[in-house]
Chains A and B, each alone.
Chain A
Amino acid sequence: MPEDAHARWRLRRIGAAVAAGGAAAAARARAIARRIGETPAPPGPFRPGFWRSPIRGPWLTSVFGLVLLVGIPVLFLTGALSYAAYNPDLGPHNDMTPDKGLLGFYLFDWPTHPYWLYRLTQGVHVTLGVVLVPVLLGKLWSVIPKLFEWLPVRSVAHGLEQLSLLMLVGGVIFEFVTGILNIQLYYVFPGSFYTLHFYGAWVFIAAFIVHVCLKLGRMSRALGSRSLATELRTDLAHTVPEPPDPDGLVPTAPAAPTMTRRGAVGLVGVGSLTLLVVTAGQSIGGRLRNTALFAPHNRNPGGGPMDFQINKTAAAVGINPAHVGPAWRLEVRGRAPMLVFTRAQLLAMRRHDALLPIACVEGWSTEDQHWSGLRLTDLAAMAGLPGAGSVLVESVQSRGAFRSVVLRGNQIHDPRSLLALRVNGADLSLDHGYPARIIVPANPGVNNTKWVHRLTFRT
């Protein structure tokens, strides 16, 4: 078949032409790459002689890196725990991030034991985040020459790594900034804090894991290259640059030292310690609350038995006084016909006590308060569902994200879980949820719904 042979011949020719063209293009590309590679660095920070601090180098970077290598996983873990503590798998009332998909893979039933669990995990999350700010600044300062590396992209591998570094640096600052602004109620970030901080954390941690994988060996070698004890004894006169490193952190034209490595590490350490002192008290409470000079919840609002922290006052969320006055009723739904109680009727029932704190996602918490009210498990039994698997709690609150919440079976049936009517020997104040509020051990503060008017128990 001559036509067939002809076609094959043409195909071969095309193939040969393509191959030749490809080879030529590859050669051209290599030539261009070589030429780009030979492009001299533009003046300024791209020149190796620009960065002159004699203490910059792998050792100092690795010291800060090691602190972050311990701190960041703790932040991620406590953050992930806080996410689970909201019980987002219980549906739209609890779930701030309904399109989380696989990122919620680890969710579990948030426990009620120990009752201070959320107080601890979230206090650590926020306080540690604040305390790590100077370390992060130190770390970023120590690697700044890398940002101006010339060429910016040397190979495919290098380009991908640079992209990952953008995620790492953008991600870590994004997470710190959104977190630190949120705890100060400075809501300038674009969207819901929960969405931004949660998805941002996953973007960041993906880059963080790669960074650890790529740099762990270098970090441990750098840490091993100098003895910490020797470094802490070295004075300014003996502070000399580290030997040249492949990353170009060590300056090629170092200036005379003005600070020892001991001084740099010490300054960052003192910065962290200062932040710890002026922050931690809002999570520890008691006498130490007043030591948290800059923390948002460092004072008690006053008011006798109600002298403990308020997340949102009644006025702030638009509680209509008519809805919590004498006309207020509690509706309890379940299998039995709906029950309706006045506050006097609730007070006449058998009440129970619980000593529980309020702990907020913002990191602050109260000391244990003496709550008195009806057990949720008793209310479930009254509703005809003694083994209730969940309860929808609804507030009279007309606006705000947390006016309704679903609690899980383990939370309902903990004997310390109350629909509280009184606290510290007095009726609840309006700002603390009068006429009735939820208090559940280890529950995030916003899920301890205030101004409750309806409980719907479900199997």
Chain B
Amino acid sequence: MARFVRWYGSGPLHLLVLICSFALTAYAMVRLFAVRPLEVAIWFVGAAILHDLILLPLYSLADLSAHSVPRHRTGRVPTVAWINYLRVPTFLSGVLLLVWFPLILDLAIPYRDDTRLPEGVYLGRWLAITCVLFGAAALAFALKLRRVRRAVPADGHRPPPGRDAEP
């Protein structure tokens, strides 16, 4: 068994479970790919690529660049941990768009005729919710800024609180 482990890289149970799983995968895949196999394969692998290599890097990059922007700013504005005031509304608004974009962007062609419901309501709702989310974040951040400014003496010698001031 030690030789097997050295050759295979794990115990025999690992191999048995994986082969069992792959057999079921193959059984279902033959049927999944029975019609328009290339397109289905593109969708299947594309789904993983779209998320792992496009969506995730994009939002990570957006987050990183948002971080770096205010570093160039100098002045006597007290530094406050602010990134989450941007992250939270962006995430919530983004998740709504990610899930419901076909309706929000009027992409579902049969929707109106099939259901006898007008489609145009969704974009307005999403924009309204986005507005409320960012407005609430702005308000919360403004209150926080005020609290921080009050805690800092007028001459600003005391190091301001917040993450950036920590060692």
Q: Taking beta carbons and an 8 Å cutoff, which residues of A are in contact with B?
A: 97, 99-103, 130, 133-134, 137, 140-141, 144, 147, 154-158, 160-161, 163-164, 166-167, 169-171, 173-174, 177, 180-181, 184-187, 189-192, 195-196, 199-200, 202-203, 206-207, 209-210, 213-214, 236-237, 256-259, 263, 267, 270-271, 274-275, 278, 293-294, 296-297, 299, 301, 309-313, 315-316, 431
A236-B163, A258-B67, A258-B163 in contact; A274/B87 too (CB < 8 A)? no
What separation, in Å, do the CA atoms of A220 and B162 have in the docked complex? Answer: 35
Q: Taking beta carbons and an 8 Å cutoff, which residues of B are in contact with A?
A: 7-10, 14-15, 17-18, 21-22, 24-25, 27-29, 31-32, 34-36, 39-40, 42-45, 47-48, 50-52, 56, 67, 81, 83-84, 87-88, 91-92, 95-96, 98-100, 102-104, 107-111, 113-117, 121-122, 125-126, 129, 163, 166
A185-B108, A200-B44, A213-B17 in contact; A191/B35 too (CB < 8 A)? yes
A154-B9, A195-B35 in contact; A271/B91 too (CB < 8 A)? yes
Chain B residues whose CB sits within 8 angstroms of the CB of A311 once the complex forms = 114-115
What separation, in Å, do the CA atoms of A43 and B56 have in the docked complex? Answer: 19
The reply to whether B10 and A157 form a contact with Cβ atoms under 8 Å apart is yes
- Which A-B residue pairs are the 6 nearest by beta carbons? A155-B9, A157-B9, A190-B39, A202-B28, A157-B10, A186-B102
A203 contacts which of B17, B29, B92, B117 (Cβ < 8 Å)? B29
Chain B residues whose CB sits within 8 angstroms of the CB of A267 once the complex forms = 87-88, 91
What separation, in Å, do the CA atoms of A196 and B116 have in the docked complex? Answer: 27
The reply to whether B129 and A263 form a contact with Cβ atoms under 8 Å apart is no
The reply to whether A173 and B21 form a contact with Cβ atoms under 8 Å apart is no
B125 contacts which of A161, A163, A164, A294 (Cβ < 8 Å)? A294
The reply to whether A195 and B32 form a contact with Cβ atoms under 8 Å apart is yes
A155-B9, A210-B18, A312-B114 in contact; A191/B56 too (CB < 8 A)? no
Additional 19 contacts, C-beta under 8 A, given A161-B18, A258-B67, A297-B115? A103-B27, A133-B98, A134-B95, A147-B52, A157-B10, A157-B14, A157-B15, A170-B45, A170-B48, A174-B43, A195-B31, A200-B28, A200-B32, A202-B28, A207-B21, A278-B96, A301-B115, A316-B110, A316-B114
What separation, in Å, do the CA atoms of A135 and B48 have in the docked complex? Answer: 16
A99-B34, A173-B50 in contact; A294/B104 too (CB < 8 A)? yes
Chain B residues whose CB sits within 8 angstroms of the CB of A259 once the complex forms = 83-84, 87
A267-B87, A275-B99, A294-B100 in contact; A171/B44 too (CB < 8 A)? yes
Chain A residues whose CB sits within 8 angstroms of the CB of B122 once the complex forms = 294
Q: Which of the listed residues A161, A186, A237 has the most CB atoms from chain B within 10 Å of its own CB?
A: A186
A191-B36, A275-B96 in contact; A316/B103 too (CB < 8 A)? no
The reply to whether A141 and B25 form a contact with Cβ atoms under 8 Å apart is no
Nearest neighbor of A200 in chain B, beta-carbon distance: B32
